[in-house]
Amino acid sequence: MRKPIVIAVVLVAAAMLIKQKDMTWRQSLLKTLYPLIMLKGKLFGNKQDIKLNPGKVVPATSFYELQAVRNNGDTLHFSTLKGKKVLIVNTASDCGFTGQYEALEKLHRQYGNQLVILGFPANDFKEQEKQSDTAIAEFCTINYGVSFPLMQKSSVVNGPAQHAVYQWLSHATSNGWNNQPPVWNFSKYLVDEEGVLVAFYTQMVSPLDPAVTGQLK
């Protein structure tokens, strides 16, 4: 009888350590497991998770004609982003990769003078972002200290409801070369200072990976 009781006590204690004040049990567990989730890429490489535009194919439609509504209701006109690199990421609060919010914030603080990070919360993958825009902003600020811009929740996958920004990012007829839509939460697109889409990274590539930071130098 004692052994099951000891195991139960250990499990409860472990759960109490994992559970974080402003997160659900699932969110706390996923945050704890995030380093293990990313271990595969570190051990075996992630070249298959990266698409590049080495020839710098110029987009057919200007990136700077786009716009998006921020989660506070203000409209962000992409024409104001000229001269800076832009990293666009579809995000979610209940995903195994939600820990990338922390890495994105580090990237924002390190390269903020030359890089704009735009988070696009989306509920497209396994309904892992069910919260309202207000709740999403609170979650990101309290748990990950996010200070980079978040847009209103929208759809990022191919289809009638796809946000215009993601229509541009995932259709070569607009961006010039790439037809890859997000494959999961925290897929990333990097646009250079001239409005050229230069890279796509899946969720398996950390925002702090040299494949990303090397493009920022």
Q: What is the pLDDT along the chain (217 residues), one digit of tens a residue?
A: 466 666 555 544 555 556 777 888 889 888 888 998 899 888 888 999 999 999 999 999 999 999 999 999 999 999 999 999 999 999 999 999 999 999 999 999 999 999 999 999 999 999 999 999 999 999 999 999 999 999 999 999 999 999 999 999 999 999 999 999 999 999 999 999 999 999 999 999 999 999 999 999 8
User: Distance between CA atoms of 37 and 31, rounded to whole angstroms?
Assistant: 10
Residue 129 token pair: 């972002």
Helix count and strand count (H, E) for the chain = 8, 7
| 22 neighbors 143 (Cβ within 8 angstroms) | yes
- Cα–Cα distance, 61 to 174 (Å, whole number): 5
- Distance CA(138)–CA(121), nearest Å, equals 13
pLDDT reported for residue 1? 47
pLDDT at 89: 98
pLDDT given for residue 30 in this prediction: 86
User: CB within 8 A of 145, min separation 6: which ones?
Assistant: 102, 105
Active site residue 140: no
The whole-number pLDDT of residue 29 equals 84
Catalytic residue among 81, 86, 92, 95: 95
Structure tokens at 16: 């109490």
Report the pLDDT value the prediction gives residue 17, as an integer from 0 to 100: 56
| Residue 123 identity (one-letter amino acid) | N
CATH number, span 48-216: 3.40.30.10
Burial 67-95 (b: 16+ CB within 10 A, else e): ebeebeeeebebeebeeebbbbbbbbbbb
Check residue 182 and report its DSSP letter.
Answer: -
Two tokens, residue 37: 């989730």
pLDDT at residue 11 in the model: 44
